[in-house]
Structure formats: C-alpha cells, structure tokens
C-alpha cells in the first residue's frame, strides 16, 4: 500500500515538496520560441526577448545580462495571450526583474518560506480531508469519498501563473533542465541545487481542468482494480471439486499472487491449487474471463474449461452468461493514456507522459532504467537461484514459480511465536507510537536523534495494510498508518509497519534536517522504498528472534539476499513491459482496447521468452502482464526493482559502519539527481551489482561446497 499515496501525489499538482508538478526536477526543451502546433505555449518571439534584455541591461548595467537573458527567455516560454501583450510582457520584466543582489537574496528566502507553506498546507489539508477514508476511525460517510476526491490545490498552478508569482520565479531564478543537472550538477553549490528546485516548481503550466481529467481517469482505473475480486470458493477444479475455502475473496493481482506464495507452505500438496490460480490470471490477462465471475460470489466457474454455472447458494436458477469481459482492463488503461495526451498539449517542455515520468519524476533517463533492469535479468546468478528452487521443490519449475516464496527468513520461524511476541509488545496503537524511540535505538540511532525522529512521527490506525505520508512543512509531522486489530498487532502488521517506519524516518530527516526545504526529499520513489526495505528486513532481529546467534543472523542475511534477488528478477520484467506498453501507446494513439491487449500479451510473452524461459524452462507465459499497477498507476512499476537494487547499495554501505549515521548523512543531501545523490551516498552510481553480489554470496553460504 505504500506506493499508492506516492502515485496519487505524483498526479496531483501539489502534494508535498517531493511532488512532481510543483517541485519536479527539470525544465524546457524548445529553445527556438517557435510555436508547436496543437500545444499551448508562449508567443513572445526571440527579437522581442532580445529587446527586453537590452532594456534591462540599459537599466541595470552589463553585469545583469546573463541572468536577464536566461530569466526573460524562461518567462517568455510560459507567457500566453491571457497574461498580456508583448508590450505588457516587456513592462512586466522591466518592473519585476530583481537586479539588486540583496533584494534578490531576500526574494529567494521569501520563495523558500512561502513554497514550504503552500506545500505543507496542501499536504496537511489533503491528509485531513482523506482521513475518514484512509484511517480506521469509524464508518466513512458517502460524503467522505467526495471530500477525498476534492483537491483544493488542483488550481494552484493556474493561480500562481495568473497572480504572476510563477513568472517572478521564472524571471529571476534559473530553471535547470535535466541534461544541465546531469552535466553540471556535480559542480553545483548547495544554493545552486536549491535554486534549481525553486525554478522547477513552475516548470509545468497545466490547467486545473486538465489535471482534474487526469485525476478522474486514474480514479476510474483505480476503482476498476479495487473492485476486481475473485471469489475463490466458487472456483471448480477439473474434477468438479472446490479446492478453496469458503469466504476467500482475492483481489487481482495482489491477492491472487500472494495466495500462490502462501501455497508454497506445502509445495507438492498445493501444486494443483497454484495451477488453478495461474489459469485465473491468464484468463484475466487474455480477458477470456467470464464477466459474470468478477466480484460475484453467486456464480461458479471452472477456469480449466471456462464454463460458468449458478453458484450453490444462488437463489435464481437458469443459465448464466459466460460472455467474456469485453477488454475493460485495457479500455481503462487507454483512458489513462488519453488523459495524459490532454496534459501533453499543455506540456511542450515534456511532451509525453514518458518524459514526465522519467525526466521530471525520476530524473533517471529511460535508457538508464532499462539497462538496470536488463542487468538484473541477464545476471547468471538467476539460473543458480532457479536450480536451488527446483531442488527445494523437487519438480521442474512452472511459470508461477517466479513467485517462489520459500527464501523468506520468517519461513524458518514459527509464525505463532512471532505473532505472540509482537502482540505482547504492541497490544494497541498507543504502544506502537510509544515504541518508536526504542526501535530506533535498537537500530543504532543516538537517543536524542531517536527522540527527535519519534517526535515527528504520528501513528494512525490504517484502513488498509498501512502506508507512510511525509509532511510538507517542518511544523507538521510524518504519519505512519498501521493496523492493530483488537487483541494486539500480529507479525504481518508489524512487518509492514517496519517498512512504513523506514519511509517515515527518511521523510523526517529529508524535511527537517536538510539545509534548505527546497531540497526536501530523496531523488525519487525508489530511494525511499529502499530505506523502507532496509527497515523491513530487520524486523525479526529487532524483535529479538534469532538475534542472539551469529550463524542464524548470517543465514537470515543470505536468505534475504537470495529472496530479494528473485523478487527483483521477477519485477524487472514487469517494469520492462510497463515501459514497452507506454512507448507502443504513443506510436499507436488510436489503438482499440483489443489492439492494446494483443500488444500487451505478445510483448509479455516476448520478454518472458527472452529472459525467463531460459531460467525457468517454461515458454511463452503472459504472466508479467497481470500486475494491476500497469492499468492504474501509470509507469510506476520500474520503481520497484530499482528500489531493491538501491536497498543493497545501502546495505553494502552500512556494512561495518553505523546504519543510523550513514542513513542520516545520505538523507540530508536532499533531493539531488539520483546519480549525484548516489555518488554522495555510496561513492558510485545506481547499480545492480551489489544485489547480484549479495545473491551470489548468499547462495554460497546456503549451498556450502
Ligand atoms: Zn513503501
């Protein structure tokens, strides 16, 4: 659930300093000032710009020329007829260009303070309006959903341009585009980085209505996914039996996938059940699933023959239509694509959603991400891991074994003991809140740092599994949402809460201890996920289970490395598919849902055959296409594998050093570009090698020769 808020944040104009649209990274493309057909952009010509710059130099002296040239050009790119005529533009620049260095410094400080207020209150207000939906504080009212959908800041961007605040920033502070940050960032001062983030706050000018259309498309896709449940008791095996228990309702894909994982508790006994779940997934991907069985407990379905019949408890008899779902899955994704095309029109600087995701949100070029994923997929260690899985299962591998779950360290521990330990320590939500300083001290944080962090983290009762929400201003707190059922927290809840705590600690460091709030945050989502994984992987250690025995700890580390590699190997192909689908959409903008489906299925199988078939020995599986994120989260999937890679870069850095000290040192760098940040954090770029190395070493210690 942690990803969800981040995704929402990235499609809303203003949610937190790390937010894309207000606080994104890069800027501008068109250097010519030439109008691009069908897009909304400035109309001020180069000669008109030159005249304005000449007037500013005449007024303030030759010393301002370089700044004036850049600022006037930046403002001109965004100046539209509604903002005034070319003469109005000249007059505006004459009045609002700040030449006096002391006034410029005060103006910079004012932007820094005011943007913190805007972002901070946007986060706090959205959090308050969504609380009844997200927190378990009683039954939500119908009106709560509408409040949750209401983003009071949807029009902030419009308003900032209308009020000319945005132009004041564009005229006076540099907007550095990604290539400039990549080429020159290494030599930037802290102030230059902060100014780059200030300028980037106004690099998009997309009308509120277009943003709302985007939010609507994502919400609709989200709603489709959120209600896509399979009632497992209604599934019939080939022999007519019902292999799954009554009351089991699994959401696609999370619930179906996690059930396949859980079934490894008895690999041979549960094999037929795993195969049946696989058939369900294939019908969803191919949309051959009968529409009547989705989210419906009154219809029985035999996935092998694809025949439906009235359920045992159906009140009405008679035939039930076995008609397939009419490619709705792909229609929802097309809706999202079309909503992004509307944004494209207003985004001449980042003309596609792919540009916005990679150049603005991630600041990691698409080709670099693709290469990282391929580094994982082609690592020779994958075959060795597969061989170990084959040996452990005692059978040839099947496609769903990409979700093999037997390397979890907890699978070696007794779940009841873990549950009892967690329950005793955290009987209620207040105990979780009170327990944070102790967890942090056990991780090595100094008592005063632990107290400082804990004082900025508020624990709330989650409706879902849990999530973490950072603050947008220093006077506010990060929120950790977690589930504590009556009778106390269980191990599963604790495991997720530790993940969310990792996010919260990062969020507090990067807001409250970074030297400028303009640099709040980490480079992108993958960097915070990596910290969350680091915390999550220490959960049993922190409970004091097996922590007294160095051999047990080493074994847990080895298992964790092999497990993480296998998960990363699996999700890397999913990330490649997500990227391929968006590239295809931009080449085929008029595609029908059926055409999109055909591409997704064939591309998933092609990626499978290239990277997975040689490792698992199964050919042509479309399984990579089951992920729901591909439909409703808009190119989010590549962040998962990259997050795991970064986790192991952190781990190598922590090894033999203080985790607490290193984490704080990394975090207070603030939001640099990913490669620049990683250079400072671990002395090298983002890389797949530490995870691959850890998996190789882990395998060695699990298979001693
Ligand atoms: Zn997370």
Average pLDDT, the chain: 90
Give the pairing of strands 299-302 and 249-251: unpaired
CA of 639 to the centre of ligand 1 (A): 11
pLDDT above 50: residue 390: yes
pLDDT category at 705 given cuts 50, 70, 90 is low
CA of 499 to the centre of ligand 1 (A): 6
204-208, 413-417, 507-511, 655-659, range with the lowest pLDDT: 413-417
pLDDT above 80: residue 694: yes
CA of 503 to the centre of ligand 1 (A): 7
% of residues, the chain, pLDDT over 70: 92
CA of 381 to the centre of ligand 1 (A): 26
Residue 36, pLDDT score: 37
pLDDT tens per residue across span 590-613: 999 999 999 999 999 999 999 999
CA distance 387 to 390: 5
Residue 552, pLDDT score: 76
CA of 500 to the centre of ligand 1 (A): 6
Asked whether the beta carbons of 609 and 620 are under 8 A apart, the reply is: yes
| Other CB atoms within 10 Å distance of the CB of residue 591 | 17
Cα within 13 Å of Cα(562), Cβ side: 27
Residue 211, pLDDT score: 87
Residues with CB under 5 A from ligand 1 (ion): 2, 529, 532
163: CB partners within 8 A, 6+ apart: none
H helices then E strands: how many in the chain? 32, 7
pLDDT above 80: residue 413: no
CA of 527 to the centre of ligand 1 (A): 10
CA of 532 to the centre of ligand 1 (A): 6
pLDDT tens per residue across span 278-326: 999 999 999 999 999 999 999 999 999 999 998 876 665 667 889 999 9
CA of 51 to the centre of ligand 1 (A): 51
CA of 701 to the centre of ligand 1 (A): 29
pLDDT category at 25 given cuts 50, 70, 90 is very low
CA of 467 to the centre of ligand 1 (A): 7
pLDDT above 90: residue 621: yes
CA of 424 to the centre of ligand 1 (A): 26
CA of 297 to the centre of ligand 1 (A): 32
pLDDT category at 566 given cuts 50, 70, 90 is very high
Which H or E run contains 307? strand 307-310
Mean of the pLDDT values across residues 381-397? 96
Mean of the pLDDT values across residues 60-68? 97
CA of 300 to the centre of ligand 1 (A): 36
Which H or E run contains 442? helix 429-442
CA of 619 to the centre of ligand 1 (A): 32
Residue 374, pLDDT score: 98
Q: Which two tokens stand for residue 206?
A: 């997309």
CA of 655 to the centre of ligand 1 (A): 22
Helix (H, G, I), strand (E, B) or coil at 461: strand
pLDDT tens per residue across span 515-564: 999 999 999 999 999 999 999 989 888 888 765 677 777 888 899 899 99
pLDDT tens per residue across span 321-374: 899 999 999 999 999 999 999 999 988 788 999 999 999 999 999 999 999 999
Residue 414, pLDDT score: 75
Asked whether the beta carbons of 502 and 542 are under 8 A apart, the reply is: no
CA of 317 to the centre of ligand 1 (A): 46
Mean of the pLDDT values across residues 202-206? 90
CA of 193 to the centre of ligand 1 (A): 26
CA of 677 to the centre of ligand 1 (A): 20
pLDDT above 50: residue 57: yes
CA of 382 to the centre of ligand 1 (A): 25
pLDDT tens per residue across span 238-283: 999 999 999 899 989 988 999 999 999 899 999 999 999 999 999 9
pTM of the model: 0.87
pLDDT above 80: residue 407: yes
């Amino acid at each position: 659930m942690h990803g969800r808020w981040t995704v929402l944040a990235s499609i809303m104009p203003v949610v937190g300093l790390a937010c894309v649209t207000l606080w994104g990274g890069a800027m501008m493309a068109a250097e010519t000032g030439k109008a691009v057909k069908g897009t909304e952009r400035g109309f001020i010509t180069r000669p008109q710009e030159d005249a304005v710059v000449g007037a500013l130099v005449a007024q303030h002296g030759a010393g301002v020329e370089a700044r004036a040239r850049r600022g006037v050009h930046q403002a001109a790119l965004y100046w539209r007829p509604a903002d005034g005529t070319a003469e109005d533009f000249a007059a505006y620049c004459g009045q609002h260009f700040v030449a006096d260095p002391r006034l410029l410094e005060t103006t910079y400080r004012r932007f820094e303070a005011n943007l913190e207020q805007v972002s901070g209150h946007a986060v706090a207000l959205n959090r308050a309006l969504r609380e009844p939906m997200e927190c378990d504080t009683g039954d939500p009212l119908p009106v709560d959903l509408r409040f949750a959908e209401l983003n009071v800041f949807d029009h902030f961007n419009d308003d900032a341009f209308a009020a000319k605040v945005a132009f004041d920033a564009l005229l006076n502070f540099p907007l550095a585009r990604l290539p400039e940050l990549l080429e020159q960032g290494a030599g930037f001062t802290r102030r230059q980085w902060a100014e780059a983030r200030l300028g980037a706050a106004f690099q998009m000018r997309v009308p509120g209505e277009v943003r709302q259309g985007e939010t609507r498309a994502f919400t609709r896709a989200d709603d489709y996914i959120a209600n896509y449940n399979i009632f497992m008791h209604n599934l019939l095996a080939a022999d007519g039996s019902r292999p799954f228990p009554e009351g089991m309702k699994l959401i696609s894909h999370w619930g179906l996938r996690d059930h396949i994982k859980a079934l490894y508790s008895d690999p041979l006994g549960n094999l037929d059940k795993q195969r049946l779940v696989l058939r369900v997934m294939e019908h969803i991907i191919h949309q051959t699933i009968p529409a009547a069985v989705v989210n419906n407990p009154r219809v029985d379905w035999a996935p092998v023959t694809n025949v439906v019949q009235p359920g045992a408890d159906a009140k009405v008899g008679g035939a039930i239509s076995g008609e397939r779902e009419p490619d709705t899955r792909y229609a929802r994704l097309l809706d999202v694509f079309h909503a992004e095309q509307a944004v494209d029109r207003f985004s001449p600087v980042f003309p596609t959603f792919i540009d916005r995701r990679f150049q603005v949100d991630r600041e990691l070029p698409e080709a670099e991400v693709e290469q990282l994923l391929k580094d994982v997929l082609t690592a020779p260690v994958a075959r060795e891991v597969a061989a170990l899985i084959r040996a452990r299962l005692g059978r040839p591998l099947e496609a769903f074994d990409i979700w093999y779950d037997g390397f979890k360290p907890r699978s070696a521990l007794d779940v009841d003991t873990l549950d009892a330990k967690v329950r005793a320590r955290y009987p209620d939500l207040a105990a979780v809140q009170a327990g944070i300083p102790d967890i942090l001290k056990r991780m090595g944080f100094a008592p005063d740092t632990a107290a400082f962090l804990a004082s900025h983290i508020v624990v709330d009762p989650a409706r879902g599994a849990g999530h973490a929400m950072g603050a947008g201003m220093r006077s506010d707190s990060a929120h950790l949402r977690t589930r504590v059922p009556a009778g106390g927290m269980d191990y599963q809840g604790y495991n997720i809460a530790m993940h969310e705590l990792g996010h919260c600690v990062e969020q507090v460091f990067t807001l409250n201890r970074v030297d400028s709030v303009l640099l709040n945050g980490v480079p992108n989502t993958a960097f915070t996920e990596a910290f969350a994984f680091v915390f999550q992987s220490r959960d049993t250690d922190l409970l004091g289970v097996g922590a007294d025995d160095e051999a047990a700890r080493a074994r847990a580390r080895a298992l964790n490395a092999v497990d993480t590699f296998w998960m990363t190997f699996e999700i890397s192909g999913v990330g490649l598919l997500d990227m391929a689908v968006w590239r295809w959409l931009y080449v085929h903008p008029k595609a029908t849902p059926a055409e999109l489906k055909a591409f997704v299925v064939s591309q998933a199988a092609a990626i499978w055959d290239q990277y997975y078939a040689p490792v698992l020995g199964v050919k042509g599986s479309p399984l990579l296409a089951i992920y729901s994120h591909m439909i409703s989260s808009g190119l989010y999937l590549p962040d998962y594998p990259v997050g795991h890679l970064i986790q192991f870069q952190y781990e190598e850095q922590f090894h033999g050093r203080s985790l607490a000290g290193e984490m704080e040192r990394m975090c207070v760098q603030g939001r640099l570009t990913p490669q620049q940040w990683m250079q400072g954090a671990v002395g090298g770029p983002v890389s797949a090698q530490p995870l691959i190395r850890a998996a190789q070493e882990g395998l060695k210690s699990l298979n001693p020769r």
